[in-house]
Amino acid sequence: MTDLPSDPAIAHHAALDARLVAAVRGIRLLTLTSWPASTQAPFLDSVARGNPVLPQVAYPKHDFSQARRELAAIATAADPSHPLGRYLRDSVESWDLAARLLGALGTREVDVLSAQLFGTPGQPMPGHGPTAREAARHFIQIANELDHELLAPEEQVPVSAVALQLQLQNDLDDFFESRVINVVLDPELIAKAAAGATQIRLRSGACFSLYDRAQLFHHEALVHSLTALNGRRQAVLPSLALSSPRITATQEGLATFAEQITGSIDIQRLKRISLRIEAIAMAGDGADFIEVFGYFRDAGQTAEESFASAQRVFRGVPVSGGGAFNKDTVYLRGLVSVHTFFRQMLRDEKLRYCHWLFAGKMTLDDAQALAPLFESGVLAPPRWLPPWLQRANRLAGTLAFSLFANRIRMDRIAD
């Protein structure tokens, strides 16, 4: 593959994609909607005094009008009959929504726009299944019914951020056989961890568990970071290295699927994901930040964890309630979608399509629509794949049993 494709249509769309990458450089959706770490202490102090006070969050004004004009021009120039043109038009629409959202920070319009980007708790799961909120309540109920004493003693030993940093760094260096991703401590981080292409940040002073180490390795590093690194190798579509909002459901579904297929997810992790979906629904129904914070605390989270969880729900929207940042609704829906996609591809003997999902950050539909370009070598295959995907026989065995087990009706089995 050359840097300048000889096919005029491919060269045309490659030039448009380069313009797209330049146009969206400042549209950092999660970064610009996140709260500063300084908002946590005053709120937790007010809680400790017995008189909780709603956090005060001031969002800077953003003007992405020039970027939006450039995006519109790119969409106009893209050929909708060409797979690259369709990809670009879909990407433009997603980035434009994100730009509009960032221009509306602090208002309830963020709820509407984030729902268009990520869906809502009331949206049905794939296959006309239950809603995301119903699925979340299912996992919460199961987690609450399980006895915590089932945890092995070693699973209950806390791991410091410093210790996890060293452990995770060794895991990554072994995988890449060199220093490709750096694990660093960040005292300003509200979340426990965050991943970029070449860096994973851990919150200084946070306590982690045995499951956290595996989850960060398989979810953050070997999906989010790995797809960004592989995407940077795409000469024709460098935007495959970017976290476009439209790929969020597939990315989070793929990352959660990686946890599941490697045995790195536990019921408490599923509960945390599910609690966020229920909390988004609560906020949309009118619950304010204090009520949502209390919901997480009542569910067993610490005050610090509850603040971080509630902050995710209220990114960009008024803390008085009536709206939410809907991003966390994608986890369960994405997990089901990715699980189904892998079963279909293995059934149809198209495992290479699953590999292509790691060649950059894309949707499940992209992996199929761009197949001719992967087949012809216009798009590069992934440089790195997680170990569980390299072992196709083991993956096929797990999914084959899952497919069969889904046919068993538990409600028809006598006690």
Query: What share of the chain in percent tops pLDDT 90?
Result: 78
Instruction: Calculate the average pLDDT of the chain.
Output: 91
**Mean pLDDT within 204-222:** 90
State residue 193 phi and psi, 5-degree precision.
-155, 155
What residues does each domain of the chain span?
108-415
Quick check: 1 pLDDT over 80?
no
- 147: pLDDT confidence band, cut at 50, 70 and 90? low
User: What ranges in 24-181 are assigned the alpha helix state H?
Assistant: 29-33, 40-48, 65-77, 83-102, 109-118, 132-145, 161-176
Q: What is the reported pLDDT for 376? A: 95
Mean predicted confidence (pLDDT) in 348-359: 93
Q: Which of 89, 92, 85, 86 is nearest to 69 (CA)?
A: 92
- Average pLDDT, integer, range 138-156: 71
DSSP code per residue over 12-45: HHHHHHHHHHHHTTT--HHHHHSPPGGGHHHHHH
**pLDDT recorded at residue 154:** 53
* pTM of the predicted model as reported, rounded to 2 decimal places: 0.91
Q: What is the arithmetic mean of pLDDT over 273-284?
A: 97
